[in-house]
């Protein structure tokens, strides 16, 4: 195949690069910024898409952020590709901050107490929920009885507080991302149109000069 990698990455390499891209997160940030600025769309639509992607980064819908970003961008009439790029706001560097603030706010909004030592058992709760999910899928096709204990505990103690608590900071971050990116994108597009116009005028003048040279006409 034309686009097949010469040296295919192993599964461990793909997982590692998901947490630390080749060239580091600084390079990844500049790549996303460059792609967003060059999108061929209205600056406000692109900015709304960026805001949608940033907002989705505050939700616990891991594995569905791209789908949720597209749906959110459509709802706010934003650029869907910009929304996908905007989800890169959520990364291994920012996720701990997002998760901590969302859980703490969500617990407070639900009237429960947030135990700051919970992060030590958070991974175990994800594992327990995954085990229940796997067992219940197996139980559909076998006489096994479905288990809901870990899933129910995970939903009420982790997922729901995270979801509710992430809405407020997610909306705020999304709005900030919109108002910061819209003028930057507009200025970049204006500058790029000016540069393209200047190149066109130079090419036009060069062609005109060639046409005026002696012997250029038959």
Residue 4 lies in a domain: no
User: What is the reported pLDDT for 69?
Assistant: 93
Question: pLDDT tens digits, residue range 199-211?
Answer: 888 887 777 777 7
* Domain span including residue 29: 18-182
Q: What is the distance between the alpha carbons of residues 49 and 77, in angstroms, rounded to a whole number?
A: 8
pLDDT at 56: 95
Lowest mean pLDDT among 32-36, 38-42, 80-84, 125-129: 32-36
Give the single-character DSSP code of 87: G
Answer whether residue 207 is part of any domain. no
Residue 188 lies in a domain: no
Structure tokens at 81: 């590709």
CB of 52 closer than 8 Å to CB of 73: yes
Cα torsion for 170, 173, 179, 180, to the nearest 10°? -140
User: Could you say which DSSP state residue 58 is in?
Assistant: T
Residue 34 lies in a domain: yes
Query: Residue 159: pLDDT above 60?
Result: yes
Is 215 part of any domain? no
Contacts of residue 198, defined as CB under 8 A and 6 or more positions apart, other chains included, come to: none
d(C-alpha 77, C-alpha 44), whole Å = 10
Mean pLDDT for 88-115 is 86
Asked whether residue 49 is domain-assigned, the answer is yes
Residue 128, domain member (yes or no): yes
Q: What SS3 class is residue 79? A: coil
Q: What is the pLDDT of residue 96?
A: 83
Residue 200 located in a structural domain: no
Q: Is the model's pLDDT at 165 over the cut of 80? A: yes
b/e per residue, 114-134, with b = 16+ CB within 10 A?
eeeeeeeeeeebeebbeebee
- Give the residue among 47, 116, 33 at the shortest CA–CA distance from 79: 47
DSSP summary character for residue 117: T
Considering its fold, how many domains does the chain have in total?
1
| DSSP category for residue 111 | T
pTM of the predicted model over 0.75 = no
């Amino acid at each position: 195949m034309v686009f097949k990698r010469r040296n295919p990455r192993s599964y461990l390499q793909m997982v590692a690069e998901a947490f630390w891209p080749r060239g580091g997160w600084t390079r990844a940030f500049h790549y996303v910024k460059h792609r967003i600025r060059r999108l061929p769309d209205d600056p406000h639509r692109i900015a709304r898409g960026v805001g949608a992607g940033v907002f989705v980064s505050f939700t616990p819908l891991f594995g569905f952020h791209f789908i949720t970003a597209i749906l959110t961008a459509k709802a706010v009439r934003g650029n869907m590709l910009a929304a996908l790029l905007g989800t890169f706001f959520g990364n291994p560097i920012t996720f701990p901050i997002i998760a901590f603030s969302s859980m703490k706010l969500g617990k407070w909004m639900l009237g429960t107490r947030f135990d700051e030592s919970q992060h030590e058992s958070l991974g175990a709760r994800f594992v327990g929920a995954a085990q229940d999910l796997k067992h219940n899928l197996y139980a559909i096709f076998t006489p096994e009885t479905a288990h809901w204990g870990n899933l129910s505990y995970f939903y009420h103690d982790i997922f729901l507080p995270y979801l509710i608590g992430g809405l407020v900071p997610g909306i705020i971050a999304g709005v900030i991302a919109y108002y910061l990116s819209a003028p930057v994108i507009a200025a970049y597009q204006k500058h790029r149109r000016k540069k393209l116009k200047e190149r066109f005028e130079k090419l036009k003048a060069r062609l005109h000069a060639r046409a005026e040279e002696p012997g250029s006409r038959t």
